[in-house]
Amino acid sequence: MSWSVLIVDDEPLTQDLLRLMLEPAGFRVTSAEHGLEALEKVHESKPDIILLDVMMPHMDGITVCKRIRSNPETADIPVIMLSGKTHLNAVEEGLAAGANRYLGKPTSRTDLIQNLQEVLAEAAAISQ
């Protein structure tokens, strides 16, 4: 099955790098440059999983994640936060906001795909 991934990051180079990591592995990738655009795209297309940066203009990733979780139509979409903020408080804040996982930047292609597959498998098991 081809999973859809929404990449939310304000850095175009990061979006491109993640796309280059994921598309060869069979993921269908769309992207958003900030939190407000991400929320619009989530409601338009309801991706299978979201890769979400924390530090962004207009709306940070923590707020985006909380909004996704508070809406019954999107609350079940898995979210992996991917951020340069890797200190313990940042990780705890991301997980408390509702992220399924919190990964530090940079991450390897292998780790990224493994985490995506694990979170998608966990979400599929819960929904059965």
The whole model's pTM is what?
A: 0.96
The total domain count for the chain is 1
**What range does the domain containing 27 cover?**
4-127
CATH label of the domain that carries residue 15? 3.40.50.2300
The reported pLDDT for the residue numbered 128 is 72
pLDDT in tens, 42-100: 999 999 999 999 999 989 999 999 999 999 999 999 999 999 998 899 999 999 999 99
The reported pLDDT for the residue numbered 17 is 96
How far is Cα 90 from Cα 110, in angstroms, rounded to an integer? 23
- Residue 1's pLDDT band, with cuts at 50, 70 and 90, is low
DSSP-assigned states of every residue in 95-126: HHTT-SEEEESS--HHHHHHHHHHHHHHHHHH
The reported pLDDT for the residue numbered 127 is 76
Q: Who's near 121: CB < 8 A, 6+ residues apart?
A: none
